[in-house]
Amino acid sequence: MFTSNPFAELSASITPSIMQTYITVMIVLVAVGTLYDVIHKKSARYFLNSWREGRNKGTKVGGGQLASLAVQTAVVDVMASGEFCNARRRIAHLLTMYGFLAFAITTAIMIYRYPTPDIETPAILPQLWHIGALMVCVGGYWFWFFIRADVAAEGNSPFRIVRADLFVLSLLGSATFGLVWSYLLSTGNAWATAFLGLHVIATTVLFGSVPWSKFAHMFFKPAAAFEKRVSAANGSRSNLPAPTDKPEVFGSTRQQPKHY
């Protein structure tokens, strides 16, 4: 199971061109959905105005310092999820984030580059696909049942669902149904087709609901983190919380969270 490309086996019933077209459509949906989200919520205008105000109010930040701040943003805020002061939330987020990247990227590679059994798939690709899906499940279900603020701090039921949960639920559905489908496919179980359908539905909801879910946040958060660092560097943090005397966490100064 872990070394077998499930999409190559699927090519016996669904042509590679159909699978490749589906992936292309999902990419377009993400691009269009993110653009719509930026225009509708005026996120780009907000960041641009904030950048201009900071530049006018504060001291000039040189190109070398900007490059350094960009590297800090990429390493601390993006790669290490330094925004999370709570260790459990950070670990769950990192598991889900890197799992999703491995799951999505290997899916595209296997479908575009190794779509049929006669083209040998490097074993590392299906291994990363399955590991990525497992990481999404571990991080996502851990967050959903034990870490969410409304569950851990406010005592609400873990089965309470609101629109903001659309992203994490569709992501969990895509990874979970994908793993079950792969297992059933490897054993020749007749239920494999049903779980493939559930996997496709969940994946379509994940990538097609960008304007209504938190999917686009993954593109906004690095920009917001970079703008925050630049504002702190040029002394124009008038619209941001004042720094506390708490030690820095992963190099990023912030107030301690209210919920643990």
pLDDT tens sequence across 219-260: 667 766 777 777 777 666 544 454 444 444 444 444 444 443
Query: Where are any strands of DSSP class E within 138-203?
Result: none
d(CA 10, CA 23): 15
What tokens appear for 47 in the block? Answer: 């960041």
Give me the residue label for tokens 């992936």: 23
Give me the residue label for tokens 């509708």: 40
Specify the pLDDT at position 251.
43
d(CA 92, CA 142): 7
**What Rg value do the Cα atoms of the chain yield, rounded?**
21
d(CA 167, CA 162): 11
Specify the pLDDT at position 249.
42
Helix 192-208 / helix 166-187 crossing angle, nearest 10 deg: 150
Specify the pLDDT at position 220.
67
For residues 144 and 105, the answer to whether their CB atoms sit within 8 Å is no
For residues 157 and 135, the answer to whether their CB atoms sit within 8 Å is no
Specify the pLDDT at position 234.
67
**CA angle at 175 for the pair 170 and 179, rounded to the nearest 5°:** 145
What tokens appear for 196 in the block? Answer: 């493939």
Sign of the CA dihedral with 213 first, then 216, 222, and 227 last? negative
Specify the pLDDT at position 101.
95
- Looking at residue 75, the DSSP 8-state letter turns out to be I
Specify the pLDDT at position 207.
94
Specify the pLDDT at position 258.
44
Specify the pLDDT at position 211.
81
pLDDT tens digits, one per residue of 124-156: 999 999 999 999 999 999 998 888 766 555 666
Helix 16-41 / helix 43-57 crossing angle, nearest 10 deg: 50
d(CA 155, CA 210): 29
| Residue numbers in the chain where pLDDT is lower than 50 | 238-240, 242-260
- Of 252, 199, 214, 247, whose CA–CA distance to 97 is shortest? 214
